Amino acid sequence: MDSLHSNVPAFDSSDLKDLKQKLVDGCHILDREGITDGFGHASVRIPGTEAFLTLAGVSPGCATVDRLVLLDFDGGYLGGEKAPPYEWPIHACIMRARPDVMSVCHTHSKWSSLFSVLKGGLRPIHMYAKFLAAAGPPIYPGSGLIATIERGGALAAALRDSAAVLMRAHGDAVVGTSLEQAILRTIQLAFLGELAHMAVAHGEPLYMTQEELATFSADQAFPARPWEYYLSRVRERRLP
């Protein structure tokens, strides 16, 4: 390991144990909630470094702590499973461009896929959108998987300072200042998509204004509660 990565713990170090488990839990949550299918991945930055953990060639629903890979922001291998994920630049390029981002989720969410090809965008009509602008998330218009630094950079540029970006004919990328936040935002983005889809049948709904979003944002938040809840749903499902 060169000096650039001297502060990155070894893949098998006990320092990463909790982070790995949380990443696996988050992937299982996305799967349990029907957001992911056989594809998609989440990542988490190693705090204070330019390295991250993500899935190595496994579906989110089948993730285990042994099927992760540790990469730097150039895709350099730092440990874990040998196979780097084909779309690693989604995570690397967004984390490089956004130092505030600790975690990125990429899914082929049905709802994000839908709104990625609609002309009107995903304008929020529910308070769960308090992490979005009133105009909804931006859309990345490129074709092809994000397998290069160039495409990853274009995706990060489309994301700008938002919490989510829709990927045309493909899915979404959602970020957070913690893994829990990125996971929960991904779930809520799907809920917002479903609501916005249903509303369109009824004529113009009352879209949320920036002021209303600000009012809801000013309220206290309880992130531990949905995390406990969604985790309980994963565990219940696993009972023999």
Which residue in the block uniquely carries the two structure tokens 């809520």?
Answer: 188
Least separation in angstroms between CB 173 and its own copies: 15
User: Would you list the DSSP string of 149-213?
Assistant: HHHHHHHHHHHTT-SEEEETTTEEEEEESSHHHHHHHHHHHHHHHHHHHHHGGGSS--PPPHHHH
Q: Give dist(CA 116, CA 235) in Å, integer.
A: 32
What is the amino acid identity at position 104?
V
Q: Residue 96, CB half-sphere, CA atoms under 13 Å: how many?
A: 18
Least separation in angstroms between CB 42 and its own copies: 15
Q: Which is nearer to its own copies, 62 or 157 (CB)?
A: 62
The alpha carbon of 193 is separated from its chain's Cα centroid by a whole number of angstroms, namely 15
For binding to its own copies (CB under 8 A), which residues are involved?
A: 37-39, 57-59, 61-62, 86, 108, 110, 113-114, 117-120, 125-128, 143-145, 147, 168-170, 191, 194-195, 197-208, 211-212, 215-216, 218-220, 222, 225-230, 232-233, 236-240
Least separation in angstroms between CB 240 and its own copies: 4
Least separation in angstroms between CB 111 and its own copies: 9
Q: Which is nearer to its own copies, 82 or 222 (CB)?
A: 222
Q: Which is nearer to its own copies, 47 or 141 (CB)?
A: 141
